[in-house]
Structure 1
Amino acid sequence: MSASLEFSLARVGAMTLRYSYLLRSSMPRMLEMMYWPTVQMLTWGFLQTYLLRAPGGLAGADKTTIAAGSLIGAVLLWDILLRGQQGFSFSFLEEMWSRNIANLFMSPLRPAEFVVSMMAMSLIRLLVGMVPVTILAIWFFGFNLWALGFAFAAFFAILIFFAWSVGLFVSGLLLRYGLGAESLVWSLMFVIQPLGCVYYPVAVLPSWLQPICWALPPTYVFEGLRGVLVDHALRLDLMIYGLALDAALFAVASFAFVRLLAAARRAGTLLQTGE
C-alpha cells in the first residue's frame, strides 16, 4: 500500500501514452492544433508586411520596430501561451466528457501524477501544433523564432509555466463546479491577453493599470521580446522576475487545485462531472 502512494513515473507515462494514443488516432484534432496558429501567424504577418509597405503610413521608428518582427514574434509567443494552457485543459476535459474523472481518482493514480501527465501532454500538443507554424513563419516572412536561442528558451519557460498555472486552476474549478465552468478553458486566457501587453508596451496603458500588468508573467516575456528584437538586448532582470512570479502563481494554483478537489469530494460533484 505504501509503495502505491509514492509518486510513480510509470503511472505518469501510462497516462501520457493514453492521451497520445487518443491524439494520434484523430487526424482532425492534429490538424486543428495547427490550423488556428497558422491563421493567426499569416494574418498578423501579412498585416506587418502591409504596414511596412504602406506609403507614409508609419514613422521611421515604428517601421524599425515592425521590421524587427515584433508582431509575428508576439503572435507566435502568444500562441505558445494559449495552446499550452488549452493543451493542458483539453486533456482534463476529455476525462470529464467521458465521465472518467471519478474512476481516475479512485485508482492508484495520484493527483500530482495526473497533473504531470497533463503537463507532458501540453508539451506534446505544442510540439505538434507550433513547430510547423514556426517553420511557415520562416518561409513566408523570414522570421526565425528559433534563432533567438537562449532568449526563446527563457520566454518559453515563463509562458509554459504560466499556462500550466492557469490550466491547473481552471481544472480545479471544473472539478468543483462541473462543465458549467467549461467556458473558462477558452475565455480566461483572453482576459489576460490585453493585460499581458502582447502587441504593445506597458507604457501605453494608464498608469493605474500598469502595476496589474507587471503582476503577470507574460508581460515580462513580451517586454523582453521587444527588447531582444528592437534593442538587441536580453533583459535578464525581466526573465528572473517572470520566473519568480511563475513559481509563486504555480504554487497558488496547486494549492487551489488541491482545495477544490477536496471540496468536490465533499460535495460529491466528482460523480456528476458530465452534467
Structure 2
Amino acid sequence: MKLYRIRSVIRRHTYEVIHNANHITYMVYWPVVNILVWGFFTLYLRHGDALKPGVVSCLLGAVILWGLFNTFQRDMAVGFLEELWSRNLVSLFASPLSVSEYVTGLIVVTLAKAMVGLSVGALIAWLFYHYDMFPTLPMLLPFILNLVLFAVAMGIMVTGLIFRYTTKFQAMAWSFAGILMPLSCVFYPLNSLPGFLRPIASILPTTQSFEGMREVIERGAFSASHFRLGFGLNVIYFIFAIFFFRWMFEAARSRGLLVKME
C-alpha cells in the first residue's frame, strides 16, 4: 500500500464531508436527537424512581456507544455508495489505487466522523443530563475498540454485497446495524433474552462490549473476559469479512459489474 494514495482517498472524502450537509446531519444531528430523547426518558424514570441511577447511566452510555457503532458501520458503506452515486467508481479503479488502499482511507475518514458523533453525544449528555462518561472513558476504550473493529468488519461485508449485487443492497447500509441491535443487548443484559437467543447474542462482539460497558458504569470494574472474548470474535469476523469482500469483488469484476453499477 502507498501512503500518498491513502491520503488522497482521505482528502477526497474530507472534501465530501465539508461540502455536503448530509454528513453534518449524520455526525451531529442524529446523535443529539438520540441523546435528547433518551435523556428525557431517563429524567422520567428518575422522577418516578423507576430505576436506580446506575441503570439510568447505563442507558445514556449505551445510546452514545451504539451511536458510535451505527455511525461507523453505516458510513463505511455509504462512503462507497457515494462513489456509485457520483459515477466515480470506474475512475477510481482505473487508477493505480488498490482496493486495500481505498478501504484504509475510508476507514480513517469514517473513524474521524464517528469520533465527532461520540464527542457530541457525550457532551450533550454531560451538559443537559449530568452524565459524565469521561472519568470512565479509559476503561471504556477497550470496548469502544471492539465496537469499532466489528463495525469495520460489518461495513466491509456490506460493501462487498453492494459490489456484487449493486445498489439493490444499498438499504443494508442503513439497516444492518438495526438487525443486530435486538441481539446486541444494548439496553438490557444478556440474561434478559430468551434462552434460545442467548447463544446467538453471545457470539456478537457488540454484546460483549455492552456487557462490559455495564460492568464499568455500574460497578466501576473492567471486565477482561468480555474484552478478550469480544476481541477474539472480532479477529474471526474481520478475517471472514476480508475473504468475503475479496470474493464479492472478484465475482463483480468477472461479471463486468464494476462498469455497470448505477
Q: Normalized against structure 2, the TM-score is what?
A: 0.96
State the AA in 2 paired with 1:262.
E
1:66 matched to 2:55: yes
Native 8 Å contact 2:65 2:118 kept in 1: no
Pairs within 5 Å for 1:4-23: 7-23=1-17
Distance 1:28-1:184 versus aligned 2 partners, 3 A rule: closer
User: Which residue of the partner structure matches residue 247 of structure 1?
Assistant: 235
SS in structure 1 at match of 2:135? helix
User: Which residue of the partner structure matches residue 193 of structure 1?
Assistant: 181
Instruction: Give CA-to-partner distance per residue, 1:212-244, whole Å, 9 cap, x none.
Output: 001100001111111111122110111011111
Task: Give the whole-Å Cα distance in 2 for the aligned partners of 1:214 and 1:202.
Answer: 8
State the AA in 1 paired with 2:195.
S
- Among 28, 40, 43, which residue is 1:46 paired with? 40
Distance 1:78-1:235 versus aligned 2 partners, 3 A rule: same
Native 8 Å contact 2:31 2:120 kept in 1: no
Structure 1: which 5+ runs fail to align? 1-6
Structure 2: which 5+ runs fail to align? none
Identity, in percent, stands at 33
Task: Give the whole-Å Cα distance in 1 for the aligned partners of 2:91 and 2:152.
Answer: 23
User: Which residue of the partner structure matches residue 211 of structure 2?
Assistant: 223
1:25 matched to 2:19: yes
Task: Give the whole-Å Cα distance in 1 for the aligned partners of 2:248 and 2:41.
Answer: 43
Q: Normalized against structure 1, the TM-score is what?
A: 0.92
Instruction: Give CA-to-partner distance per residue, 1:68-92, whole Å, 9 cap, x none.
Output: x010000000000000111211211
Residue 101 of structure 1 and its aligned partner are, at CA, apart by 1.6
Instruction: Give CA-to-partner distance per residue, 1:198-222, whole Å, 9 cap, x none.
Output: 0000101111110100110000111
Task: Give the whole-Å Cα distance in 2 for the aligned partners of 1:107 and 1:174.
Answer: 21
Native 8 Å contact 1:87 1:121 kept in 2: no
Pairs within 5 Å for 1:126-145: 126-145=114-133
1:204 matched to 2:204: no
- Among 182, 194, 200, which residue is 2:170 paired with? 182
User: Which residue of the partner structure matches residue 258 of structure 2?
Assistant: 270
Larger radius of gyration: 1
1:114 matched to 2:105: no
RMSD between aligned residues: 1.3
- Among 54, 79, 87, which residue is 1:99 paired with? 87
User: Which residue of the partner structure matches residue 173 of structure 1?
Assistant: 161
Task: Give the whole-Å Cα distance in 1 for the aligned partners of 2:227 and 2:111.
Answer: 21
Residues matched between the structures, number: 262
